[in-house]
Amino acid sequence: MTKANIVGAQIRAIRKEKKLTQEQLTARCNLEGFDISRGTLAKIEAGIRQVIDIEVVLISKALNINIDKLFNVKG
């Protein structure tokens, strides 16, 4: 099965590194203006749901990281 995004695994890894739950990260995303549920975040992290560019920007802001960290993908 082909992944729907390439940032999901990095989002999960960084979220766990920062000791945030999915609920905590979705709350931060909501504060940034990205209305997202925990279930949707789980789908993003699992690579099941596509992510548009503005969502990647808002997630990076919610995680307080530079956006390029989300694209640290090993081919």
The candidate with the shortest Cα–Cα distance to 10, out of 49, 39, 46, is 46
pLDDT number for residue 73: 63
One-letter amino acid for residue 39 of the chain = G
Res 34: pLDDT: 96
Calpha distance 4→24 (Å, rounded) = 23
* pTM score, whole prediction: 0.91
What is residue 2's predicted lDDT score, i.e. its pLDDT? 85
Which residues are CB-contacts of 38 (< 8 A; sequence separation ≥ 6)? Answer: 22, 23, 26
DSSP 4: S
Per residue of the chain (75 residues), what is the pLDDT tens digit?
Answer: 689 999 999 999 999 999 999 999 999 999 999 999 999 999 999 999 999 999 999 999 999 999 999 997 665
Which pLDDT belongs to residue 72? 79
Domains of the chain (ranges, CATH numbers) = 8-64 (1.10.260)
